[in-house]
Structure 1
Amino acid sequence: MKTTLDELQTFITIVDTGSISAAAEELNQTPSGISRTLARLEKKLRVTLLRRTTRKLDLTSEGERFLQSSRDVIQALENAEEAVGSKNAPSGLLRIDSASPFIIHSVAPYLSDFHKLYPDVQVELFSSERNIDLIENRIDVAIRIGELADSSLHAVSLGQSRRRVLASPEYLKSYGTPKNVDDLQNHVLIGFTDPRHLNYWPLKYNGTSRYPIKPKFSASSGETILQLVRNGVGIACLGDFMTIPDRESGDLVQILPGAAVDQKEQIHAIYYKNAQLSQRADVFIKFLKSKLKNAL
Structure 2
Amino acid sequence: MARLDLNRSGEMEVFVRVVALGGLSAAARSLRMTPSAVSKLVSRLEARLGARLINRSTRSLTLTPEGQDFHDKAVRVLADIDEAERSVATTATPRGRVRVNSSVPFGVHRLIPLVPVFTARYPEVALDLVLTDQVVNLMDERADVAIRVGPMPASQLMARKLVETRMTVVASPDYLARRGTPETLDDLAAHDLIGFNFSRSLDGWPFVTAEGQRITRPVTGRATAGDGETARGLALAGQGLARLSLFHIGPDLEAGRLVQVLEAFNPGDIEETRAVYVGHGGRLPSRVRVFLDFLAEEVRF
Scaled by the length of structure 2, the TM-score of the pair is: 0.69
Report the CA distance between 1:185 and its aligned residue.
0.8
Q: Secondary structure at the match of 1:243?
A: helix
Superposition map of 1:236-251 within 5 A: 236-251=242-257
Superposition map of 1:212-291 within 5 A: 212-216=217-221, 217-274=223-280, 276-291=283-298
Of 193, 201, 214, the residue aligned with 2:205 is 201
2:114 aligns with 110
Report the CA distance between 1:245 and its aligned residue.
1.0
Q: Give the direction of change, closer, same or farther, for the CA distance of 1:67–1:242 in structure 2 (3 Å limit).
A: farther
**RMSD between superposed Cα atoms in Å:** 3.2
Quote the Cα distance in structure 2 between the aligned partners of 1:82 and 1:65: 28
* 8 Å Cα contact 2:204/2:217 also seen in 1: yes
Structure 2: which amino acid aligns with 1:286? D
Structure 1: which amino acid aligns with 2:217? P
Report the CA distance between 1:282 and its aligned residue.
1.7
> What's the CA shift string for 1:252-287, capped at 9, x where partnerless?
000112221211112211112458222222222222
Identity %: 34
2:64 aligns with none
Q: Give the direction of change, closer, same or farther, for the CA distance of 1:202–1:290 in structure 2 (3 Å limit).
A: farther
Quote the Cα distance in structure 1 between the aligned partners of 2:42 and 2:166: 39
Quote the Cα distance in structure 1 between the aligned partners of 2:178 and 2:168: 21
* 8 Å Cα contact 2:182/2:262 also seen in 1: yes
> What's the CA shift string for 1:197-253, capped at 9, x where partnerless?
444324213743343223212222111111110100000101122211111100000
Of 83, 86, 92, the residue aligned with 1:88 is 92
Q: Give the direction of change, closer, same or farther, for the CA distance of 1:167–1:158 in structure 2 (3 Å limit).
A: same
Structure 2: which amino acid aligns with 1:163? M
Q: Secondary structure at the match of 2:219?
A: coil
Provide the aligned length of Structure 1 versus Structure 2.
Answer: 237
Query: Relative to structure 2, which stretch is displaced further, 223-232 or 209-218?
Result: 209-218
Identify unmatched segments of 5+ residues in structure 2: 6-24, 44-77
Quote the Cα distance in structure 1 between the aligned partners of 2:110 and 2:41: 35
Of 125, 129, 133, the residue aligned with 2:133 is 129
2:39 aligns with 65
* 8 Å Cα contact 1:167/1:255 also seen in 2: yes
Structure 1: which amino acid aligns with 2:91? K
Q: Secondary structure at the match of 2:274?
A: strand
Identify unmatched segments of 5+ residues in structure 1: 2-11, 17-22, 24-48, 50-58, 70-75
Q: Secondary structure at the match of 1:196?
A: coil
2:72 aligns with none
Q: Secondary structure at the match of 1:96?
A: strand
Q: Secondary structure at the match of 1:158?
A: strand
2:157 aligns with 153
> What's the CA shift string for 1:30-84, capped at 9, x where partnerless?
xxxxxxxxxxxxxxxxxxx9xxxxxxxxx7x625625999xxxxxx8xx699736
1:170 matched to 2:174? The reply is yes
Quote the Cα distance in structure 1 between the aligned partners of 2:97 and 2:42: 22
Q: Give the direction of change, closer, same or farther, for the CA distance of 1:114–1:183 in structure 2 (3 Å limit).
A: same
Quote the Cα distance in structure 1 between the aligned partners of 2:97 and 2:85: 13
Quote the Cα distance in structure 1 between the aligned partners of 2:226 and 2:104: 10
1:54 aligns with none
* 8 Å Cα contact 2:106/2:248 also seen in 1: yes
Q: Secondary structure at the match of 2:152?
A: coil
Scaled by the length of structure 1, the TM-score of the pair is: 0.70
